[in-house]
Amino acid sequence: MKTKYTKMHSNGNEFLITEDIRQIVKTKILADKKKGIGFDQLLFIKNKNPYEVLVINSDGSEADNCINGLRCIASLYSLNNQVIYIGDNKFVVNSNGNGAEVSGSLPDVKVHKNYYVINFGNNHIARECSDIESINLENEYLKLKASREFEGIKNFNLSVYQKSKNNIAIRTYENGAGETLSCGSATISVAFALLKDTKKNELLFTSRGGKTKVYKDDASIKSEANAVIIEQGFLNG
């Protein structure tokens, strides 16, 4: 029996969306960009009342969060003011003509040396740099994973960012997926770290995949970006 799938991206962060639980065990094969469909994460729709999503990284591990993935789901199913859960993490999504807005509770932020340590349902480590393109991000990520400096922080993503007058450039190496063109939870996490002690309430970020607007109020933080269908087809069970 074949089941439908949809491949989408938000700012170049690619996903396979399915309602067939049998596809989870095939994630590593399907995610292969040469032999399979090619994507960063598989999104399994566990339930629609309420919406529950299981996120599987391209290496087969489970992810705790996926803002760009929720953005794609919101756009695909035309969801508005809809609550979606990833595990215990609760988000609200609103689709629009070009993408979707995703909002969640305010992250927890700490500072360790020159790094922000942020939890937004998943863990992020981020630092500022003066030349974002000169960084060997994979090498820095692997060094931090191997060191004892952050050994108590589970499955973290690493981001570097570079500030300019009207924009913040960002790159992210995701646990279980490698460097992606965009990471929605990393963007929100870094945005909150930069906004929380200022009077500003919004920032514009640019990743290698595109632009994301982030807005903060006293109780929540939300981001808005595109969501695009790449292809649709059918998979064997």
CATH number at residue 88: 3.10.310.10
- In this structure, what DSSP letter does residue 106 have? P
Domains of the chain: total? 2
Tell me: do 155 and 55 sit in the same domain.
no
CB 38 within 8 Å of CB 23: no
Q: Rounded to an integer, what distance in angstroms lies between the CA atom of residue 187 and that of residue 108?
A: 14
Tell me: do 32 and 70 sit in the same domain.
yes
With a cut of 90, say whether residue 130 has pLDDT above it.
Answer: yes
CB 145 within 8 Å of CB 176: no
Tell me: do 76 and 129 sit in the same domain.
no
Please enumerate in sequence order all residues whose Cβ is within 8 A of that of 93, keeping only pairs 6 or more positions apart, or say none: 70, 71, 73, 74, 79, 80, 82, 84, 100, 101, 102, 103
Tell me: do 70 and 166 sit in the same domain.
no
The pLDDT confidence band at residue 111, using thresholds 50, 70 and 90, is: very high
Q: Which domain holds residue 7?
A: 2-104+225-236
pTM tops 0.75? yes
CB 168 within 8 Å of CB 206: yes
Tell me: do 202 and 95 sit in the same domain.
no
Task: Please report the pLDDT score of residue 158 as a whole number.
Answer: 98
Task: Please report the pLDDT score of residue 75 as a whole number.
Answer: 98
Tell me: do 144 and 212 sit in the same domain.
yes
Tell me: do 197 and 134 sit in the same domain.
yes
Tell me: do 139 and 181 sit in the same domain.
yes
CB 213 within 8 Å of CB 204: yes
CB 14 within 8 Å of CB 40: yes
Tell me: do 7 and 112 sit in the same domain.
no
Tokens of 171: 């790159």
Tell me: do 99 and 109 sit in the same domain.
no
